Amino acid sequence: MSFKRISPLLAKKILKNNNGLLLDIRDTESFNSDHDSKAIHINQDSLPDFLSKTDKDTTLFVMCYHGNSSQFVAQFLYEEGFKDVYSIDGGYEMWNS
C-alpha cells in the first residue's frame, strides 16, 4: 500500500468536515502570495517539526503546483508512518479552478 490520489473537489468536501490536514508544499513565495485558508505550509525547514508533532492517524492531503511533486511527498509521508495520505490531483492550479 501507499498514498492515494484524490480530486480537489472530494478533498474539499472531506476537509470541510474538519477531517484531516491540507499540506501545501509549494515554495514560500507562492504560498505567501496565495493559499487556501486551511493550508499548512510544509517545506524542508518545517518538515521535522511537523513529523514529530503530528499524530500518525491524521489524514493528510498534499498539494503542490500541478499534482506531481505532491505524489513524492505523499509517498514519503506514508513511509514515515502516516497511513491515510492523499496527493491532490492537479495541485493548486486545479484546487483554484
Which residues are identified as catalytic?
A: 64
| C-alpha cell, 40 | 499548512
Please, are residues 21 and 41 in contact by the beta-carbon 8 Å criterion? no
In 10 A of CB 28, how many CB atoms?
A: 11
3-class state of residue 15 by DSSP:
helix
Amino acid identity, position 7: S
Name 61's Cβ contacts closer than 8 Å, sequence gap at least 6: 6, 11, 14, 15, 20, 21, 22, 23, 86, 88
